[in-house]
Amino acid sequence: MKIILLGPPGAGKGTQAQILEETYEIKKLSTGDMLREAVAKGTEIGKKAKAVMDRGELVSDDIIIAMIDERISQADCKKGFILDGFPRTVAQAEALDKLLSSKGEKLDKVVEMKVNDKALVDRISNRYSCKKCGAGYNRKFKPTKKEGVCDLCGSTDFLIRDDDKAETVSARLQVYNKQTAPLLPYYRSKGSLAEVDGMADMGEVTRQIKALFLIK
Ligand code: AMP
C-alpha cells in the first residue's frame, strides 16, 4: 500500500503515519525526519538544509527527490510506505509519479488531513519527541503515559524541534498554503484524493483513515 498523508504542519501526519506503521507492515517515510537526521550527522545535505529549515522554507526539490528515490528503492519499502511531508510541491508530486511508474507502481491514495490554522499553532507549540527513537508526543493532546518516559523505548531524553518556535511556525504555514496546497487540486484531478477530519481526536482520525482503505 502506498499512501500520502497531506496537510499543513501540525495536522497530525507524523502521528498517524506512526500508528499506521506500527499496525501494518508499511514503512513511514518522513522527509522532515530524514533531513533532521542529516543535520544531526552533519552530512553535506544536512549542511545545505539546516538554514532553510530554520527559516521554515522548503529544501530544494532536487535534494528531496533524490532522497526519496533512494529510500523507496530499499527492501523495507517493498510492501508499501506512508509518505509524511512529501511531496510538498507540484514538481515533487510529478517526480514521484514518474518514479513509481518507472517501477510499474502507483499510489493507492492521498489522504488530506483537514484542520484549522488556529488549532495548528496550538498543536505545534506543544509537541516534542523522543530523542532516542523519534516517537512524537504532545503536552496537551498526547503526553507520554508515564511522565518523562518514552512509551516506546523507555528513554528519558526528549527534544523540541528548532522550527517549532512561534515565529517559524507562521512562515511554515504560509509556505504550506502557497507551495503545498496546490497539490490538493493536482491529486483531486487524478481521482486519488480523500479527506479526513484532522480536528477529530487521534483515534477517530485513525479510524477514518483505515476506513478509506477498508481495513480495521
Ligand atoms: P516536517 O518535519 O515535515 O515539518 O519538515 C521540516 C522541514 O524540513 C520543513 O519545514 C522543510 O524545511 C523541510 N522539508 C521536509 N520535507 C520537505 C519536502 N518534501 N520538500 C522540501 N522541504 C522539506
- Centroid of ligand 1 to alpha carbon of 32 (angstroms): 5
Q: How confident is the model at residue 140 (pLDDT cuts 50, 70, 90)?
A: confident
pLDDT in tens, 158-182: 999 888 888 888 899 999 999 999 9
Q: Is residue 9 lining ligand 1, measured as CB closer than 6 Å?
A: yes
pTM recorded for the entire structure: 0.90
* Cell, residue 63: 535534494
- Centroid of ligand 1 to alpha carbon of 146 (angstroms): 30
Phi (first) and psi of residue 99, to 5 degrees: -60, -45
In testing the pocket of ligand 1, which one of 88, 160, 164, 180 has its CB within 8 Å of the most ligand atoms?
A: 88
- Distances 167 to 11, 14, 160, 161 between C-alpha atoms, Å: 18, 21, 15, 13
Please tell me the distance from the alpha carbon of residue 96 to that of residue 22, in angstroms, as a whole number: 24
Q: Is residue 86 lining ligand 1, measured as CB closer than 6 Å?
A: yes
In testing the pocket of ligand 1, which one of 5, 31, 161 has its CB within 8 Å of the most ligand atoms?
A: 31
Please tell me the distance from the alpha carbon of residue 215 to that of residue 104, in angstroms, as a whole number: 24
pLDDT in tens, 44-77: 999 999 999 999 999 999 999 999 999 999 999 9
Residue with cell 500508528: 19
Complete edge-to-edge strand list for the sheet that includes strand 27-30: 27-30, 81-84, 2-6, 109-114, 193-197
**pLDDT confidence of residue 216:** 55
Contact criterion met (CB below 8 Å) for 6 and 112: yes
The amino acid sitting at 187 is Y
Is the torsion defined by CA of 35, 40, 46, 49 positive or negative? positive
